[in-house]
Amino acid sequence: MTRAVGAAPPRTPAAGETPPAPAPRPAGDPGVRRGGLLRHRDFRLLWAGQTASAVGSNVTTVALPLVAVTVLDAGAFGVAVLTAASWLPWLLVGLPVGAWVDRLPRRPLMIACDLVCAALFLSVPATALLGMLTVGQLLVVALGAGLARVFFETADQVYLPVLLRPEQVPEGNAKLQATQTASYVLGPGLAGGVAQLAGAVTALLLDALSFLFSAVCLLRIRTVEKPPGRVRRSRSLRREIGEGIRFVARDPYLRTLTVFGAASNVGLVGYQAVLVVFLVREARLAPASVGALVAVMSLGGIVGAQLATRLGRRLGTARALLVAGALSGPPALLIPLAGPGGALVLPAVGGMLLSLGVAVGNVVKGSFRQTYTPHHLLGRVTVSMQMLNYGTIPLAALLAGAVGAAYGTGTAIAMMTGWLALTPVILLVGPLRRRRDLPAAPEVP
C-alpha cells in the first residue's frame, strides 16, 4: 500500500506555463546516450536503495504485527491500530508535505527520512533486549515511520523525473514496481522465517539495515537537482496547497483515479490490517506459514509489473487500467475462504490475481501522473491524490479491527474484500471507458 505503460510524449506547456528546465546530468552518463536504464548509474543506485528498503518494509508488515501478537499478546483491534498509525500521517500532514516537497531539495530529504526510519526500527530490538518494549512504543514507531514515509514517497515521485527524461519514466516506474512487488514476496517470507528461528523482534533489524543501505545509495547519486525558484518559496503555503487540490479536482482523469484509489484502499488495507491475526488465531498457521502465504499471495504482482508496459502498448493505457481494476477487485472474494491444508490454495490464487491487478494499475497510473502533471505542481498533485488515497486507510484499519474484535477476524476480512470487489465500477463512471489511451497533457481552455 499501495508507491508506466504507454506514457505520453513530453508535454507541450500550456499558455502562461514555464516548461521545466532539463535536469542536469553527470557527464558521460551512458543511460542518457544509449538508452536502457540498466546502464543509467544514478537510476541503478536509486533502484538498489529502494529495492532494499522495500524488502525491509515488507518484512515489517509481517514482523510488527507478529511482535504485537506473539510478544505483547495484542488483539485484533490493537494490531489494526498499528496499521492505522502507520497511515495516519497522510491524513494529518499530507497536503502541506506536498507543498514543502515542491520547495525543498528532494535527495537530502529522502536521505533524512531513511535515517529516521532506521533509528525508529532499531529502537524496537533495543528496548526488547532491555525488557522495556510496549505496545505504546510500537505505536510511536509505526506513527514516526509513517510520517517519514509521507515525505519520502512524495519526494520520490518528484525526484524520478529529475533523474530521467520523460520517455524513460515508464521504464523506470516499471522496474521500480517490479522490485517493489518482488519485495512483497521476499519480505514476508524473510519475516516469517526469521521470526520462527530467532523471534519477530529480530526480524525488524532487517528493516533498519535496509533503510541505512538506501541512504548510502542516495548519497552516491551524482545528478544535480535544480533548486526550487525563489518566487515559489515566497508564496503562501495555503495558496500552493490549493493549486494542487484544484488541479486534481478539476481534472477528470486524476479525479477518477483518486476516488478509485481511495475506495479500493479501504478494502485492501482493511483486510490486510487483520490478516495476520486471522491466519494465526483462526486458521492456526505458524509464523513461517503466515509469511509464506502472504509471499505467495504477492507473486502476481511481479508478473503484473513485468506485463504492465506491454499491456499498455497492446491494449492502450486507459484500457489497461480497466483490466487492472477488474483483477484487483472480484478475486479478493477468495481470501476469506482461507483454512488449514488445501484451503490455503484459494486465498493464494485470489491474492495473486489481486496483486497482479494492483501492480499493473500502479505502474500505469504512476507514470501517467508523472508525465501528465506540470512538473512544478507534481509534488502537490501527488500528495493531493495520496491524501485521499491513503487518508482512508487509518479509518479502514480501525473499522476492520473493531469488526474483528466484535465479530471475529473472518467476518472483518469478508466485509472488506466484499467492498474491494465492487470498487472497479468507479473506473467506469469517469472518462476512461471511452478512451484507448490516457491523454498526453491536460486540456487547455
Which of 425 and 377 is assigned the larger pLDDT? 425
Position 229 scores a pLDDT of: 54
Residue 190: pLDDT band (50, 70, 90) is confident
CB 80 within 8 A of CB 404: yes
Which stretches within 282-344 are classed as H helix? 287-297, 299-315, 317-327
Radius of gyration of the chain (CA): 21
Residue 425 CA to its chain's centroid (Å): 22
User: Span 146-161, mean pLDDT?
Assistant: 86
Q: Is the pLDDT of residue 19 over 60?
A: no
User: Span 267-288, mean pLDDT?
Assistant: 80
Which of 51 and 187 is assigned the larger pLDDT? 51
Q: From CA 111, how far away is CA 45, in angstroms rounded?
A: 13
Residue 89 CA to its chain's centroid (Å): 14
Tell me the pLDDT tens digit for each residue of 97-121.
877 887 788 889 999 999 999 999 9
Read off φ and ψ for residue 441, nearest 5 degrees. Answer: -155, 155
Q: From CA 288, how far away is CA 265, in angstroms rounded?
A: 26
Position 339 scores a pLDDT of: 67
CB proximity list for 45: less than 8 A, separation 6 or greater: 217, 218, 220, 221
Place of cell 511481479: 302
Position 206 scores a pLDDT of: 81
Q: Is the pLDDT of residue 421 over 70?
A: yes
With vertex at residue 158, the alpha carbon angle to CA 154 and CA 161, rounded to the nearest 5 degrees, is: 150
Q: From CA 263, how far away is CA 382, in angstroms rounded?
A: 17
User: Span 54-73, mean pLDDT?
Assistant: 80
CB 369 within 8 A of CB 254: yes
Position 444 scores a pLDDT of: 57
Position 235 scores a pLDDT of: 57
Distance between first and last Cα of the chain = 36
Which of 241 and 131 is assigned the larger pLDDT? 131
Segment among 119-133, 282-296, 345-359 with least mean pLDDT: 282-296
Share the mean pLDDT of the chain: 79
Q: Is the pLDDT of residue 30 over 90?
A: no
Residues in the chain: 445
Position 340 scores a pLDDT of: 67
CA dihedral (158, 163, 169, 174) in degrees, to 10, reads -90
CB 346 within 8 A of CB 337: yes
Position 113 scores a pLDDT of: 92
Q: What percent of the chain has pLDDT over 90?
A: 15
Position 196 scores a pLDDT of: 72
User: Span 252-271, mean pLDDT?
Assistant: 89
Position 114 scores a pLDDT of: 92
Domain parsing of the chain, residue ranges: 38-221+237-434
Q: Is the pLDDT of residue 375 over 70?
A: yes
Position 65 scores a pLDDT of: 81
Q: Is the pLDDT of residue 24 over 50?
A: no
Q: Is the pLDDT of residue 230 over 70?
A: no
CB 265 within 8 A of CB 397: no
Q: From CA 293, how far away is CA 278, in angstroms rounded?
A: 12
Which stretches within 12-75 are classed as H helix? 30-34, 41-66
Closest CA relative to residue 249, chosen from 235, 259, 240, 239 = 259
User: Span 244-261, mean pLDDT?
Assistant: 88
Instruction: Quote the pTM value.
Output: 0.64
Residue 231: pLDDT band (50, 70, 90) is very low
Q: Is the pLDDT of residue 409 over 80?
A: yes
Q: Is the pLDDT of residue 61 over 80?
A: no
Segment among 219-233, 247-261, 319-333, 425-439 with least mean pLDDT: 219-233
Q: From CA 283, how far away is CA 339, in angstroms rounded?
A: 5
**Residue 9, Ramachandran bin (φ over 0: left; ψ between -120 and 50: alpha; else beta):** beta
Homologous superfamily of 38-221+237-434 in CATH? MFS general substrate transporter like domains (1.20.1250.20)
User: Span 63-75, mean pLDDT?
Assistant: 80
Q: Is the pLDDT of residue 150 over 50?
A: yes
Q: From CA 207, how far away is CA 276, in angstroms rounded?
A: 19
Position 101 scores a pLDDT of: 80
What DSSP assignment string belongs to 213-249?
HHHHHHHT--PPPPPPPHHHHHS-HHHHHHHHHHHHH
Q: Is the pLDDT of residue 365 over 90?
A: no
Segment among 224-238, 253-267, 332-346 with least mean pLDDT: 224-238
Segment among 150-159, 211-220, 385-394 with least mean pLDDT: 385-394
Q: Is the pLDDT of residue 163 over 90?
A: no
Q: Is the pLDDT of residue 159 over 50?
A: yes
Which of 363 and 11 is assigned the larger pLDDT? 363
Position 367 scores a pLDDT of: 81
